[in-house]
Amino acid sequence: MPPRASPSPASTPVTVAHLRSASGSGGGPDKTIFAEASLIDPARVRLLCIYLRKPDDSLDGIRHRARDAGASLLEIPGRSLFDCTQFQALRHLLQRERVDVLHCHEPKGDLLGALMPLAASRVRIITTLHGWTAPRSRKSALFARLDRLCLRRFEQVLAVSRPLEHAARQAGARSVQYLPNGVDTLRWQPGQAATHPALAMLAPSWRWVGYVGRLSDEKAPERFVQMAARVVRAMPDAGFVLAGDGPCLDACRRLAGELGLGDHVVLTGRLEETAIRCLLDRLTLLVNPSRTEGLPNNVLEAMAMAVPVVATAVGGVPDLVQDGTTGVLIPPTQDDIPDALARAVLSLMRDPDLLRRMGQAGRARVEREFSFHARVETMTALYETLTRRA
């Protein structure tokens, strides 16, 4: 296991509680939360992970992640966005555990966190902005508006991308810091992953292009399938794998069938971390076709594994991918994004030397600028500073 953040002379560890609303296996923010839990020094920070959920939601994937990280997981069930029983349960839990810093994530967590100083004045309240989904429904638009209003209540707002940093300042947040996601470069490095049974269906003679992440509307996985159909017509030995689950899984499977892609498209469902590392070691390219993003962990992990990236230039993606150096960026204003993705993929796959240089440049950039160990040290120092202000 990689070394934890180095200790400091502090005699009593700061008690920090992450607050998050999620279901199933969660997403990118959960990966960041549990990576921090696995690396942070327990002599300096006692870390709790509090998850809000609906009574019928399964948190099996979250529980599995918590166990792997050695994290303390506490669950608070509730029936709606404005569930007073969840607020009361959270207040009681913070008092019982003598929490010093409440670290919120996503709109519902932010809403409860913003109200908490009224009931638990000793707790310092901060939040991380991971990104808002595109307002394609009244519900998501309402959540985004509420979240922007809540930002003024936090002592510190952390933004994982430059656009989110700007949005937080525009919303009137008191103190905003840019702190991008990171990746553990000791765990995520090329050439170390063995074969994995979950990937047995990938033909060894084909060159594989991958999508790794949640299959949901804002991630636009259908663009990946549409792109695959165009690439296969010109490059019959290309294969495409979608690794992840979500509400668009069945629609992607149907679309692949309608386009006659057959064995050229493989949908694996959700993969655990070891399988994802093995998959990235097999990929020629990663494609990230999202409509909206914060700072995507899948792109960081691909770059750490020396895999070039083709992605839409949304959210914090341009903070990661250097167009022409570590991958190719597609403007989100393109009329036909699947076609633009396909042209970029074909161009790169026909130039093995460029692919190799891009992969090496991506790995070097992650090592230099996106180390998770450095991020954990920054967070530890922030938690300790906030507690000293109390």
Instruction: Give me the number of domains the chain comprises.
Output: 2
Residues 44 and 79 in one domain: yes
Residues 270 and 294 in one domain: yes
Residues 174 and 36 in one domain: yes
Q: Report if residue 114 sits inside a domain.
A: yes
Residues 96 and 173 in one domain: yes
Q: Phi and psi for 17 in degrees, rounded to 5?
A: -120, 120
| Both tokens assigned to 265 | 């498209």
Task: Give the range among 43-52, 55-64, 104-113, 244-253 with minimum mean pLDDT.
Answer: 55-64
Task: Give the range among 141-150, 254-263, 310-319 with minimum mean pLDDT.
Answer: 141-150
| pLDDT digits 0-9 by tens, 154-185 | 999 999 999 999 999 999 999 999 999 999 99
- CA 122 – CA 339 distance, rounded (Å): 54
Residues 70 and 207 in one domain: no
Residue 6's pLDDT band (cuts 50, 70, 90): low
Q: Report if residue 59 sits inside a domain.
A: yes
Q: Report if residue 66 sits inside a domain.
A: yes
pTM: 0.87
Residues 223 and 145 in one domain: no
Residues 50 and 29 in one domain: yes
**Structural domain harbouring 31:** 14-182+371-389
Contact 204, 173 (CB under 8 A): no
Residues 234 and 157 in one domain: no
Indicate left, alpha or beta for 306 from its phi (over 0: left) and psi (-120 to 50: alpha): left
Instruction: State the pLDDT at residue 118.
Output: 62
Percent of the chain with pLDDT over 70: 93
Instruction: State the pLDDT at residue 283.
Output: 97
Q: What is the CATH number of the domain that holds 295?
A: 3.40.50.2000
Q: Report if residue 1 sits inside a domain.
A: no
Mean pLDDT of 12-24: 91
Residues 268 and 169 in one domain: no
| pLDDT digits 0-9 by tens, 324-370 | 999 999 999 999 999 999 999 999 999 999 999 999 999 999 999 99
Which amino acid, 214?
Answer: R
- CA 270 – CA 64 distance, rounded (Å): 13
Residues 242 and 220 in one domain: yes
Mean pLDDT of 243-251: 95
The distance from CA 284 to its chain's CA centroid, rounded to whole angstroms, is: 22
Query: Does the structure show a pLDDT above 80 at 81?
Result: no
Q: Report if residue 266 sits inside a domain.
A: yes
Instruction: State the pLDDT at residue 193.
Output: 65
Instruction: State the pLDDT at residue 22.
Output: 83
Residues 175 and 323 in one domain: no
